């Protein structure tokens, strides 16, 4: 078994993917030495992968010789056909919702065992919440993840009886509403988005920061959020 596992490994490819994943966590440009330290490899071991990724346009190199990710990875995600069609259908509807409701709204799709944040449209209010596109959200700890899980788009392996009951309730009610598991003071409310065959394609979610003079409770956004999801579905 170990022999088969070793045969399946591609060290150069693994090293390149490790490098991209590590670079994605960095806000600042980094040197070859910093990359080697971050990956636990020698400078000589990472020189060729860095040079290759730079040549292919995945890394930008400054005049000082430091590196950062380019926008090429993001462009690949944006141009992935199912995602591109969904984005085209969603952008107008989400922009209209954000403008009228003065709330930020984001769209998540299933990606392996997580929810991938595909599109984020900031609201038009005084305070605007902005979420990181391409972020991967937990399948059970986030509203978007639970919506995708409740309709079978994600299949978490660590579910217990209580979790199954929660997901069943979400499916029956057609929405999820809960305090953010990551940020104090933010409440999330989300609904499913279905494709033309009636299969879930995404989760549409509002993350709302409670203002002192708020005109409405976040649950009052539900009818408008469902209408937005329906408009997206019509475009798929």
Q: Domain of 87: which CATH number?
A: 3.30.450.40
Q: pLDDT band at residue 216, thresholds of 50, 70 and 90?
A: low
Q: Report the 10 Å Cβ neighbour count for 167.
A: 23
Q: For 129, what's the count of Cα atoms within 13 Å in the CB-facing half-sphere?
A: 20
> Is residue 60 located within the same domain as residue 160?
no
> Is residue 33 located within the same domain as residue 94?
no
Residue that is last in its domain, among 25, 42, 70 = 70
185 token code pair:
């003071």
> Is residue 84 located within the same domain as residue 160?
yes
Q: Which range of residues forms the domain containing residue 160?
A: 76-234
Q: What is the CATH number of the domain that holds 45?
A: 1.10.10.10
> Is residue 11 located within the same domain as residue 112?
no
Q: What is the pLDDT of residue 214?
A: 56
- Of 217, 122, 136, 150, the closest CA to residue 182 belongs to 136
> Is residue 128 located within the same domain as residue 216?
yes
pTM (2 decimals)?
Answer: 0.71
For the chain, the domain total comes to 2
* Mean pLDDT computed over 152-163: 90
The percent of residues above 90 in pLDDT, for the chain, comes to: 61
> Is residue 54 located within the same domain as residue 93?
no
């Amino acid at each position: 078994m170990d022999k088969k596992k070793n045969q399946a490994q591609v060290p150069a490819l693994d090293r390149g993917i490790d490098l991209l994943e590590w670079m994605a966590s960095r806000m600042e440009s980094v040197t070859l030495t910093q990359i080697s330290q971050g990956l636990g490899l020698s400078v000589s071991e990472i020189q060729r992968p860095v040079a290759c990724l730079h040549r292919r346009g995945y890394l930008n190199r400054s005049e000082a010789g430091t590196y950062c990710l380019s926008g090429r990875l993001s462009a690949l995600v944006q141009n992935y056909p199912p995602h591109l069609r969904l984005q085209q259908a969603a952008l107008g509807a989400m922009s209209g919702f954000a403008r009228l409701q003065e709330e930020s709204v984001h769209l998540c799709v299933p990606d392996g065992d997580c929810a991938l944040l595909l599109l984020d449209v900031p609201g038009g209010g005084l305070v605007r919440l902005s979420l990181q596109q391409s972020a991967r959200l937990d399948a059970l700890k986030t509203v978007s993840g639970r919506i995708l899980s409740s309709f079978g788009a994600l299949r978490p392996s660590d579910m217990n009886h209580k979790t199954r009951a929660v997901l069943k309730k979400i499916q029956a009610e057609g929405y999820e509403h809960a305090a953010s598991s990551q940020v104090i003071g933010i409440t999330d409310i989300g609904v499913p988005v279905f494709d033309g065959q009636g299969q879930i394609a995404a989760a549409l979610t509002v993350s709302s920061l409670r203002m002192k003079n708020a005109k409405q409770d976040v649950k009052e956004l539900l009818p408008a959020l469902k209408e937005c999801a329906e408009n997206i579905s019509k475009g798929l």
